[in-house]
Structures are given as C-alpha cells and as structure tokens.
Amino acid sequence: MSGLTSKTLTTPKALGASAAALAVVIAGAGAGTAAASTARTAAAAAATVYYLDSVAGNDAAAGTSAATAWKTLAKASAAPLEPGSKLLLKRGGSWSGQLALSRSGTADAPIVVDAYGTGAAPIVMGDDEACVDLAGSHIEVYNLQVGVNRDAGRCSWAGIKVGGDDNVVERNLITGAAAGVYIETSARYTAVTNNDFVDNNHMSTLTPKEVNANDDSGAFAMLVQGDDANIGWNTISGSVAFSYDYGFDGAAVEIFMGSRNRVHHNLAFDVDTFTELGTSRNDDGTSNDPDGTSGNVFEYNGIYGPRSRSGLVTRGPVHDDGRIETNGPVFGTVFRNNAMNLPNADSEGVVCDAGCTNAHLTLSQNIVSAAKKIAYADPAFTAHDHNVFHGGQFQMSAGTANVRKDPKFDPNRPLHLLSTSPAIGLGVTKFNDVDLDGVKVGQDGRIEAGAYEYVAAP
C-alpha cells in the first residue's frame, strides 16, 4: 500500500476552536416562498450598506456611501452589522489582515459581503490564521479574491474559515492557502458554491521524516469538519504540494469528522487527492468525534490531470493485524456518477481499507480510470455496481454489473464520452437531474456512468 493510502489525516491546528456551522443550500432548500422572498427584500432594503475603499477610504467617515467609505478591515470587522446589512469592498482594492464577521444575519435577512465598483475583484489577503473569518451565522460572501498565490501575503492557514451556521461562500476566487475554505467542526449548512479554488497548495505543516514522518498537512482546497455542507459547482486546481512524508499531498475536499456533506458537480484538475475521509480516534479506540463521520455523498464530480494521484480514500475500523485505524471508521460514504481519469504512474482511483465493508462505502455508476491501481477494497466490500473500471491493478470484489473496459474519454473534452464509450447507457438510476455541464440526465432515455451525459460533440 502506498504512503498515500496509509497516511494519517492530521489534526488541523484550528481544531477545537470556536464552534462552527455551515450552510447547505441543497437544491430547493432555503426560503423558497414568495412571502419569505418579500420579507427578505424588505429587510435588506431597510438595513445599512457599508462601503470599504482601500485607497480613498477613511475610517473616521460614516462608511455608509461610496463617498464616505471606510478604509480598513479592522473598521469593517467592528461594523455594527445587523441582519440585512451589506458590507461592500471596492473593486481594485486590496487589504492585508483579517475580515472578521462575528455578527449574524437571519434566514430572511442575511448579512451580505460583496464587491462594488469596477475592475478586479477586491483582495483580502495576508493573515496567518484566516483572511476571512465567518464566526457568525447567515452571512453570505460573494465576488472576493481571498488570498494571493505567493509567499508574501498569502493566507497561510485558511482563506475563509467558517464557524457559524447557514453561511454562503459563492463566486469567489480563493487561492494560495493551506485550506482555501475551512469549515469548523460544529458548523452546519455551509454552502460553498461556484467558487474558483486555484493553487491552494501551501503546507501548514511540513517537516522532514526524521522529525516526524506522518505530520505533513495542507494543500486543501476545502477542509470540512462540519456537517450538512453543500459543496457544488466549484472548479478546483493545483491543490498538490511537495511532502516529505507522502511525496505529494493535497485534496480538493478533505472531510475530517464531518457528516452528511454533499459534494457535487465540482471539477478538479491537478489535485493530489480528490477526497479523503476520516474520523478521529485514539490508539485505545476512544473517539474524538462523538457524533461520528457518516453519510457524505459525492456525485457528478470530475477528477483529472497529470498530477492527480487519487480519487477517493476512506476506511473501516481496524487493520488486518488488529491495529485500530485511528482515522476510521467512516460510515456510509456514497460515491456515484463521478468520473476520474488519472494517468499519473502513481495513481490509485478508489481505496477503502482497514476492514472496509458495505457499511462504509457504496460506489455506483462511476468511471474510474487510474494507471497504477484502479481500486483497492477489502474482500467484504461488494457494494459497487454499474461502474466502468479501467487501468492498473484491480483489488476488489466483482460487484454487480461493472464493466472493465476503456471508458473512451473524448481527448478534446476532458471526461466527456466518445460515442463508443461503454459508459453510455450503463447507468440504471438517476441520482441527479443534471450532469457536470448542467445537461439533463437521461434526457435521451439512457443514463450514463460518469459525470457527463453523452451528447454528440458539436
């Protein structure tokens, strides 16, 4: 087994910090009625809009118009934000330090952080804990650049740290952090949607093996310790970094102690591992994760790129030799209609070890193509069906109605299918209305394996 599969999830430095929350906006959730919408509009109209201008602002001004904008993150962080308030950052501006939002909106009147003016997205950078800290609840953050992709001025731990419930992180560029978005343990219902995660490849812990051979950590686009997050429609690239301990490290979505998170319609390029899941136990078997880690769902994600080495890593409770797996067991992970194409010579598509059984994982209608190892799972694991498997070693039970063939990806459109693909029509269950392009699933009467419906190339 490679270093990748045997590695231990390390405990991030912020573990145990303030409670957190998160906000899933699974399709259709939230205040959907006309009445709620009207109430929300009215509340927003009545609340104050504050402006922040890093060039011409003045903290002694009123802050309530572009002409009287404040200047600093400290002033903005102390703003008396009531439900429905907005905090607008001027485009073209840049701030170093932390934007800390500890007040809360409500479901009908969230606090909104957004950009104003013209030009480049406003940049919040240069904090060594979290450039944006969402400790409150019902806060929505749009259209910022969080972090920079260089040593000077990076967010050296988190880009955005989520502590409260029902927060939204949407349409931002998040770059250069050790954890682009970090969702803390008690955070529930966080939405992380339509963002671009670029080169979140900083290692927060990086020590030679002689010092510690299993402590390197970082290069997470998203680190999820909370529950019930909706993580969808993001693009994620470059979360891969050198590690003394593992050769390389990094993940698109690392789930550590979090449950019922839904990860869907994300496209990940050159990310070391798409997802690794773990809980936290001590060597004697006692748990640091009282409510466990269970029920995380991954669907319609695309995973590719020459530097990508792994699609899914999860685990059961105990190793063959009787040793407790301190990052297991992780229960009920569902992985369906994902497509991965991993040509890297060290790549392993799916790994579920340490006593993996059907209680730990279900794999349906995926395409898994990996050069070194398609899949490893312990013999008791049989809950896999209607997948296309292709590539190197296959160390898993036969499962049900799987196909071992070249998936025939279109060389011109990553992870899309050629007309000769065995994935076309292999699926039997419609798990989502739309594919990774937003195309209706099964519209031609056939459901594909993988992340894309087959539509003839234009």
Of 308-327, which residues contact Ca ion (CB under 5 A)? none
Computed from CA positions of residues 382, 384, 385, 391, in that sequence, does the dihedral angle turn out positive or negative? negative
| Interface region with Ca ion, contact rule CB under 5 A, candidates 19-27, 253-261, 298-306, 393-401 | 253-261
Q: Does 257 interact with Ca ion (rule: CB under 5 A)?
A: yes
Q: Which of residues 150-169 bind Ca ion (CB under 5 A)?
A: none
CA atoms of 242 and 231, how far apart (whole Å):
26
- Residues 214 and 245: beta-carbon distance below 8 Å: yes
Q: Does 433 bind Ca ion (CB under 5 A)?
A: no
Residue nearest to Ca ion (CB): 207
Site stretch for Ca ion (CB under 5 A), options 58-66, 141-149, 203-211, 326-334:
203-211
446 is a contact residue toward Ca ion (CB under 5 A) = yes
Q: Are 21 and 190 in contact (CB under 8 A)?
A: yes
Distance CA 297, CA 281 (A): 22
Residues 289-308 that bind Ca ion (CB under 5 A): 289, 291
The residue among 108 and 448 lying less far from Ca ion, judged by its C-beta, is 448
Nearer to Ca ion, 128 or 444 (CB): 444
Interaction between residue 419 and Ca ion (CB under 5 A): no
Q: Is 38 in the site for Ca ion (CB under 5 A)?
A: no
Using the minimum distance from each CB to Ca ion, give the nearer residue, 260 or 372.
260
Q: Phi, psi (5° rounding) for residue 158?
A: -100, 145
CB-based contact 328:317 (threshold 8 Å): yes
Q: Which is nearer to Ca ion, 73 or 257 (CB)?
A: 257
**Are β-strands 247-249 and 241-243 bridged in parallel, bridged antiparallel, or unpaired?**
antiparallel
**Is residue 408 exposed (0-12), middle (13-18) or buried (19+ Cβ within 10 Å)?**
middle
444 binds Ca ion (CB under 5 A): yes
How buried is 12 (Cβ within 10 angstroms: 0-12 exposed, 13-18 middle, 19+ buried)? buried
Closest CB to Ca ion among 225 and 347? 225
Lookup: tokens for 314: 């999860």
Shortest distance, position 433 Cβ to Ca ion, whole Å: 13
Sole residue written with tokens 């994300």: 266
Find, among 235, 227, 367, the residue nearest to 311 by Cα.
367
Q: How far is the CB of 208 from Ca ion (least distance, A)?
A: 6
Is 270 near Ca ion (CB under 5 A)? no
- 207 makes contact with Ca ion (CB under 5 A): yes
Does residue 412 sit in helix, strand or coil? coil
Q: Which of 59, 114, 129, 215 binds Ca ion (CB under 5 A)?
A: 215
* Residue listed under structure tokens 């004697």: 284
Instruction: Verify binding: residue 184, Ca ion, rule CB under 5 A.
Output: no
Residues that bind Ca ion (CB under 5 A): 207, 212, 215-216, 244-245, 257, 289, 291, 444, 446, 453
